[in-house]
Amino acid sequence: MRFLICLAALIGAFLAVAPAGAQQLLHQERSLYRNIFVTQNGDERCMLFRWPRPLGRESCKLLHEPQKLIFDYTQMMLSGLYLDPNPKRILVIGEGGGTIPTALQEMFPNTQIDLVELDKAVDGVARNYFEFKPGPNTYVFIEDGRVFVKRIASQKPNYDMVLLDAFDADYIPEHMLTKEFLEEVRAIMVPRGVIVANTFSDSALYDHESATYRAVFGSFFNLKLANRIIVGRVGGLSADDLATTRKNASLLEAQLMRRGTGSEFLLPLFSTKVDWDPDSRILTDQYSPSNLLNAMPRRR
């Protein structure tokens, strides 16, 4: 009887964390860096780094609406276009299922997009299971994002926009959280270039990350839901940038509506409120305890 009670408890615990519906495992592999799983639940296909107890989905798409952005954070990352609605050269660090670079190359077919992904297996899964097809002006580099930034600096690429979306199973790799890394990113951008970064909104890292981005890029917009998206400029925001976002939103509305988002959702999220401790310690190559801080709740 005790065995049956324990078995029932285990089954109940699994059902509590398992997604609703019949989830099918389409693919699994062990790469050099992680386990990778591809699942499907009805029309929704997802990439995960943990399964069958996913703590987060890395990328998802709807098979019958492939242009629609499912996650709020992917929609929020495109809000960087409100500061520059016509970038000529974009750097994206972190591929996932290729959702963001696919949207960008469809919206800006003449824009050069450099996409950097550490894990060759992730790139293969994006192509084979998420229909990621690099366009003629999209270049994929399989290497560490920070190594890429250091390597390309001598070429003075002058990116108009940089999107940081590199995650492992837990969070952003710690060497891509630091002041030194962000300074390296700033050095490959044009004056007033746009930085967009996907972060978490509710961990002990929040204050430290905020202070670090502020130290390198100056003031920035905070867009917060479950994830927090930092949107800023080299040199910090100007007094006119909030008005700029509203003006440019109308130029992009049709394109973003096709992807399930738009100004009605995005514009109210723009905030410059400093909701962190400005005296928080800045993350550096000598101090970046991301695993410890990310596991701790944020103090309010």
SS (H, E, C) 29-43: EECCCCEEEEEEECC
Transcribe 155-200 into DSSP letters: G---EEEEEE----SSSS-GGGSSHHHHHHHHHTEEEEEEEEEEEE
Q: Which of 84, 165, 207, 241 is catalytic?
A: 165
E-assigned strands of the chain?
23-30, 35-41, 44-48, 57-62, 89-93, 112-117, 138-142, 159-164, 189-200, 220-224, 227-233
* Residue 168 designated active-site: no
Amino acid at 106: E
| Contact yes or no for 223/76 (Cβ under 8 A) | yes
**Whole-number Å distance between alpha carbons of 107 and 248:** 14
> Dihedral of CA 159/163/169/170: which sign?
positive
Catalytic residues: 165
